[in-house]
Each structure stands twice: as C-alpha cells, then as structure tokens.
Amino acid sequence: MESKNVSRRSFMKSAAAVGVAAQAVPLFTARAQGAGRKFKVGLVGCGGRGAGALKQCVEAAKLVGAEVEVLAVADVFKEKAVRVGKLHGVPEAHCFDGFDGYRKILALPVDILLLATAPAFRPLHLEAAVAAGKHVFMEKPVAVDPPGARRVMAAGEVAKQKGLTIVAGTQRRHQEGYLKMAKALQDGLMGTITGGRISWCGGALWVRAREAGQDDAHYLANNWGNFVGMSGDHICEQHVHNIDVANWVIGKPPVSAVGFGGRARRESGDQFDFFSLDLDYGSELHIHSMCRQINGCYGGVWEQFVGTKGTFWGGGKMSTLDGKKLDLPEIKMISSDPYVQEHVDLLNSIIGNKGLNEAQNVATSTLTAIMGRIAAYTGELVRWSDLMEKKDSPFYNMACTPTADDFEKGPVVAPPDDVVAAPGSGEKKKAAKKPAAKKGK
Ligand SMILES: NC(=O)c1ccc[n+]([C@@H]2O[C@H](COP(=O)([O-])OP(=O)(O)OC[C@H]3O[C@@H](n4cnc5c(N)ncnc54)[C@H](O)[C@@H]3O)[C@@H](O)[C@H]2O)c1
C-alpha cells in the first residue's frame, strides 16, 4: 500500500532511488580540481544540438580548469560531420559518415562520447559506448519505445558497475531555479504535493522534405522529427522535459496514463500534433500533461505543482499559503547556462570519480512519455507495469520499426506519410485532409 501523499521523506527516499541526490551533489560543490586534465571527446549526431553540446563541453572544460580535444565526429551525412569537425580542428579522416560512424569513433581512444542523433538510435549507441568503457553525455529523449527505454536502463546499470559517468540532456536538473525548487521541496517548505499540471505547447517544428534520389534510411535520419519511430512523437521528443520535472519532484513515475491526442495540421510523417493526458501517480495524486505543436495557438512551456504548504513552478517561482518568505540556501552554479552546467557536472563527476549517472532518470521520464503516447494512440489506459513488468502485456514489446539496428543491416522502409494511429481501432488510418494554415502563420 502506498503512502497517502508524497511526503518530504518519500521524496528524499525515492529521489535517492532514482539518483536525484547523486546528481545534485556536484552542483553544490565548488569548482573541481580539473587542472591539467585533458579529455578526448567524440560526437555522434552533428546537427544543431550536437554542435551546441560539443561547444558547451569545450566551454565547461575551461570552467573546471581542464581541456577538451575533439578526436572525431560522426553523422549520417558526411558534410554535416565535416562542418562541425572543422570548427574543432578535426581532420576529415576523423569525420565519419554512415550509420556505423559511432563504431569508428569508439575504436579510437576517446574518453567521452556525446550522443545527439535522432532519439531512435540512443539505446544502441549508449550500449556500445558503455560496452567500450566510455563516459557519455546523451541528449533526451533516450528511446522511442518500451524495449528501447529498458535497454537504456540496463546500460545505465552496467555503466554504474563500471564507474562510468552518464549525463542526460534534461538540463532542468542542472538549472538553478529548478534546483531551488527541489531544495524547497526536500526541506518540506511546500508540504506534500497534491496535484499539478505540465505543458509544452508551441508551434510546428521543421519539415525536411525528401531530397532527389534520397533513400528511406537517409530520409528518416534527416526528417526524424516527424516520424514516431525516430523521435518518439513530440510528447517524447519535447514534452519529456516537463514530464521529467514531474517525475523528479514526485520521486517516481506515474502508475498509469490515460488520455487522447490527434493530428490536425502536421504536414509530414506519422505523428500526432496534440496530446492531453491524465498521469496517475497513485494515492490520489494526478498531473495533467498537455503538449501541442500547432501554429497560431496558445503557447506555454511550464510545470506547476500544488503542495499542502504552497504552490510552486518548475523554474523556481514559489509561494507559500501563509505568505511567509522562503528561507532557501543559495545554490552555487559554475555556469548560469544549464547547457554548459550539465557538461561541468559531467567533467566534475569524471574528475572526482563521483559516478554521476542520469540514465535511470531520463529513461524513466522517456518511458513515461511513451506510456502517454501509447495511451493516446490506442485509446486505452496504460499502466507502468505494462511497460516494465508484464511481459504478456500488448504494450511491453510494442516496438517502432525500422529499429536502430535495422539501419546497419541494409535498406529500411519508411512508414508512409499521413498514416497515423486511430484510437479505439487497433489500426493506423490515413489522416483527414488538413485545413489551410492561418494567414501569416
Ligand atoms: N536538451 C534540449 O534542450 C534539446 C534541444 C534540441 C534538441 N535536443 C535533442 O537533441 C537530439 C538532436 O536534435 P537536433 O535538434 O540536433 O536535431 P538535428 O536534426 O539538427 O541533428 C541530428 C543529427 O543527427 C544525425 N543523425 C541522425 N541519425 C543518425 C545516426 N544514426 N548516426 C549519426 N548521425 C545521425 C542527423 O543527420 C542530424 O545531423 C534529439 O534527441 C533532440 O530531441 C535536445
């Protein structure tokens, strides 16, 4: 029987269980003694985020008194690898292309591998990196289906045994306002959480049309943000940030999810463009989760929670019911930019042999998003146990295809555009014709 509410004690206990306490440690410590350390780094996925993460890793090294040498980079597309490689003085021979570029990097003496490809490849790449004994920074989300999320959890455990550091791109966990919020909760200043709501509502993302003569594998790798099998759908790809905050403050994933979604305006691929879900954390604690990618509509990215002593927002805005001013200790960050701070924490963990490992947190939040997506796609109530324990559940092995492994075996076939899940039917159906876009949007 679970406790009635999420008390301070259970937050701390469950937080420690999912590694929150462990990851908070480096954030409160002073600048690490990294002088003289040189890290050899490789990057897989040379798009916007990969290029950014590499730059931020170099910047973080300077902040901790260390140095980064970029040894090799890889992208499915040679020109993207070369473009990013050039910025860091990587010779063209170490700018790899194709779907097996990560293997070529892992054959080199890199200390740290940064993973920033389409999410579908994360479990495969993480497993390989951990097997090769590398420390990892990996972007969220870390899987697109239940088997993938479980693979990441398992690889995370192997990394722990090997003493490897894994930091995830859920950067709110490395951001001052969010850490203040977590501290206030840990200190009991907000009482017990009784409910909340989380949102990532915004406009449509990019569409990358198939180039002349492009095969399905390269089309999918490029237009990945529009295919569920590559991105996990936007509930997974974007909203995972907000879901991660809910799981963090509550200290555990939901027991079940039920809700709905649909495809109103999306122009490419096979995803929905809106979701609305009830996440049931047990013991009468529910979080409403909503996300949308449609132009011309309300936009808002936030998390709000109601406690028995006050209300608080993810970014650190807190108010107590009795109006008393909160007495919180200052949280010292080495960088005010969470995208840099996450690399500071990565390097400090390696330097200090701290074993920071965020694999479980991010895999749990990724799987929570996947649970919500399956609930909306099927119209059914989906339980956490369906994804983690019950091997005979229809959802346990609900894998997206083609799988990451398929891309290295030979040609793959892209799912058809505009054929999407039809809740209640157990099938996929051709989506209705979309209305014209609003003027000026
Ligand atoms: N933490 C954040 O705030 C944040 C922000 C943006 C993106 N992201 C995440 O970062 C990841 C990358 O996003 P992005 O915006 O850089 O996308 P992007 O399309 O700009 O870059 C992805 C790159 O990966 C390459 N790629 C795809 N599959 C590959 C494979 N198997 N091997 C090698 N290269 C491969 C693509 O060619 C592309 O260059 C995604 O998981 C995304 O969700 C996180």
The protein residue with its alpha carbon nearest to ligand 1, atom 2, reads 169
End-to-end Cα spacing for the chain:
51
Is 437 inside any structural domain?
no
Is 47 inside any structural domain?
yes
85 pocket-lining for ligand 1 (C-beta < 6 Å): no
Question: Based on the domain organization, do 190 and 289 belong to the same domain?
Answer: yes
244 pocket-lining for ligand 1 (C-beta < 6 Å): no
Domain count, the chain: 2
99 pocket-lining for ligand 1 (C-beta < 6 Å): yes
The protein residue with its alpha carbon nearest to ligand 1, atom 34, reads 75
Query: What is the spatial distance between Cα 209 and Cα 222, in angstroms, rounded to a whole number?
Result: 9
Is 434 inside any structural domain?
no
Query: What is the spatial distance between Cα 411 and Cα 155, in angstroms, rounded to a whole number?
Result: 27
Q: What is the DSSP letter of 411?
A: -
Distance in Å, CA 49 to ligand 1 centroid: 6
Tokens describing residue 216: 């399905």
76 pocket-lining for ligand 1 (C-beta < 6 Å): yes
Residue with tokens 């970029």: 70
**Cα angle 82, 88, 89; round to 5:** 75
Question: Based on the domain organization, do 215 and 111 belong to the same domain?
Answer: no
Give the domain-ending residue among 317, 348, 365.
365
Is 100 inside any structural domain?
yes
338 pocket-lining for ligand 1 (C-beta < 6 Å): no
For residue 350, give the H/E element and its range.
helix 338-351
Question: Based on the domain organization, do 371 and 359 belong to the same domain?
Answer: no
What is the CATH classification number for the domain harbouring 215? 3.30.360.10
Give the structural domain span for 254: 175-334+366-427
Query: What is the spatial distance between Cα 229 and Cα 131, in angstroms, rounded to a whole number?
Result: 25
Residue 435, preceding bond cis, omega within 30 degrees?
no
Query: What is the spatial distance between Cα 434 and Cα 272, in angstroms, rounded to a whole number?
Result: 13
What is the CATH classification number for the domain harbouring 99? 3.40.50.720
Distance in Å, CA 224 to ligand 1 centroid: 9
73 pocket-lining for ligand 1 (C-beta < 6 Å): no
Closest ligand 1 atom number to CA of residue 169: 1
For residue 27, which of 278, 330, 331 has the smallest C-alpha distance? 331
Q: What is the DSSP letter of 439?
A: T
Distance in Å, CA 118 to ligand 1 centroid: 5
The protein residue with its alpha carbon nearest to ligand 1, atom 18, reads 47
Is 75 inside any structural domain?
yes
Q: What is the DSSP letter of 6?
A: B
Question: Based on the domain organization, do 167 and 36 belong to the same domain?
Answer: yes
The protein residue with its alpha carbon nearest to ligand 1, atom 38, reads 47
Question: Based on the domain organization, do 180 and 159 belong to the same domain?
Answer: no
Query: What is the spatial distance between Cα 132 and Cα 42, in angstroms, rounded to a whole number?
Result: 13
Question: Can you give the pLDDT at residue 435?
Answer: 64
Residue to substitute in 49, 54, 73, 358 for testing ligand 1 pocket (most ligand atoms within 8 angstroms of CB): 49
Question: Based on the domain organization, do 237 and 315 belong to the same domain?
Answer: yes
Question: Based on the domain organization, do 275 and 339 belong to the same domain?
Answer: no
Give the domain-ending residue among 365, 387, 419.
365
Question: Can you give the pLDDT at residue 329?
Answer: 75
221 pocket-lining for ligand 1 (C-beta < 6 Å): yes
pLDDT tens, position by position, 313-322: 998 888 988 8
Question: Based on the domain organization, do 158 and 272 belong to the same domain?
Answer: no
Question: Can you give the pLDDT at residue 33?
Answer: 61
Is 163 inside any structural domain?
yes
Query: What is the spatial distance between Cα 56 and Cα 62, in angstroms, rounded to a whole number?
Result: 10
Question: Based on the domain organization, do 114 and 234 belong to the same domain?
Answer: no
Give me the DSSP letters along 255-322: SEEEEEEE-SS--SSS--SEEEEEEE-STT-EEEEEEEE-TTS--EEEEEEEESSEEEETTS-EEETT
Query: What is the spatial distance between Cα 174 and Cα 26, in angstroms, rounded to a whole number?
Result: 10
Is 138 inside any structural domain?
yes
> How many Cβ atoms from other residues are within 10 Å of residue 64's Cβ?
23
Residue type, 34: G
139 three-class SS: coil
Distance in Å, CA 170 to ligand 1 centroid: 14
Spans of the chain below 70 pLDDT: 1-35, 433-441
Evaluate whether 170 touches 361 at the Cβ level (below 8 Å). Answer: yes
Evaluate whether 145 touches 398 at the Cβ level (below 8 Å). Answer: yes
Question: Based on the domain organization, do 279 and 154 belong to the same domain?
Answer: no
For residue 231, which of 316, 141, 311 has the smallest C-alpha distance? 141
Query: What is the spatial distance between Cα 123 and Cα 146, in angstroms, rounded to a whole number?
Result: 11
Give the domain-ending residue among 365, 384, 409.
365
Distance in Å, CA 48 to ligand 1 centroid: 7
Closest ligand 1 atom number to CA of residue 170: 1
Is 218 inside any structural domain?
yes
Question: Based on the domain organization, do 370 and 358 belong to the same domain?
Answer: no
Distance in Å, CA 399 to ligand 1 centroid: 21
Question: Based on the domain organization, do 255 and 288 belong to the same domain?
Answer: yes
Residue to substitute in 76, 174, 205, 365 for testing ligand 1 pocket (most ligand atoms within 8 angstroms of CB): 76
